[in-house]
Amino acid sequence: MKNIVLIGFMGTGKTTIAIELAHRLNMRYVSTDGLIEKKEKRTINEIFTKSGEGYFRDVESAVIRDVACMEGQVIDTGGGAVIRDENIAYMKSSGIVICLAANDETIMERTKKYKHRPLLNVEDPKRKIRDLIAKRAPFYAKADHTLDTGALTVRQVVEKIIELVNATNKPKEDPKQ
């Protein structure tokens, strides 16, 4: 079984959906941020403050390259994992890439109660969200499919992803018949 890779901006629901999806499909749940923290033995906040974003991105790329070699996983990636072409290439080679999306207000609502995202620990997180989404839009557009999670329940998103995966795995019909 190939991997199912979830990409998308912070607060679009990747972690919640990936855990539920892995459970439903009896696949392994893998978080690239979780692996980065394990490898570095420190939190993402600490990595950003002590070593900088560039260092974080290097570790992130190495982790993505490693997980892409294994199968049967639902991979929950960090929101910025898409900004390096090599990362997207590894993700695509390992399975189906699905982007979760939501509008700025939904993202603001979902992320404002947490402090573990260094990029949003700024004076004007709303503006930061808007700017980053605009900047990253061309990268998220490289996904095989995009789903807006704003008006859907976790269950509905999971069902839709399962439909997409099944449609992708369906053998093509014989044109001669």
Residues near ligand S3P (CB under 6 A): 10, 14, 33, 44, 78-80, 117-119
Sign of the alpha-carbon dihedral angle for 105, 110, 111, 114: positive
Instruction: Give min distance, CB of 176 to ligand S3P, in A.
Output: 46
Instruction: Give min distance, CB of 138 to ligand S3P, in A.
Output: 15
Angle subtended at Cα 72 by Cα 166 and Cα 172, rounded to the nearest 5 degrees: 30
- Three-class SS of residue 164? helix
Residue recorded with tokens 């557009």: 141
- CB closer to ligand S3P out of 139 and 165: 139
- 82 with 139: CB under 8 angstroms? yes
Q: Which residue is nearest to ligand S3P (CB)?
A: 78
Instruction: Give min distance, CB of 175 to ligand S3P, in A.
Output: 42
